[in-house]
Amino acid sequence: MWKYSAGEWIWVGGSNLNNQPGIYGTEGTPCPNDIPGARGDAALWKDSVGNIWILGGFGIDYLGGGGLLDDLWKYEP
């Protein structure tokens, strides 16, 4: 059993590799296999019901190329 203390980060999923491209499924359809690609400088926020949103940034697209991204991701905890 693991112990969590306030103020600690815990890795819960996703790749730990640098420059990992995203895994895109069907737009608007939730899928546990979809993963946002590695990125920096993205907009990130949490809405009033606890969903986490990620928009754009500089990173790796689904083809493995780098550049500015314009994708929007929603995570429902």
Looking at 1-77, list the stretches that DSSP marks H as alpha helix, in order from N- to C-terminal side: none
Is residue 35 within 8 Å of residue 62, measured between CB atoms? no
- How far apart are alpha carbons 5 and 52 in whole angstroms? 21
Q: What is the pTM of this model?
A: 0.73
- The pLDDT tens digits for 28-73 are 898 888 888 888 999 999 999 989 999 999 988 778 788 999 889 9
Q: Where are the domains of the chain?
A: 20-77
Is residue 16 within 8 Å of residue 57, measured between CB atoms? no
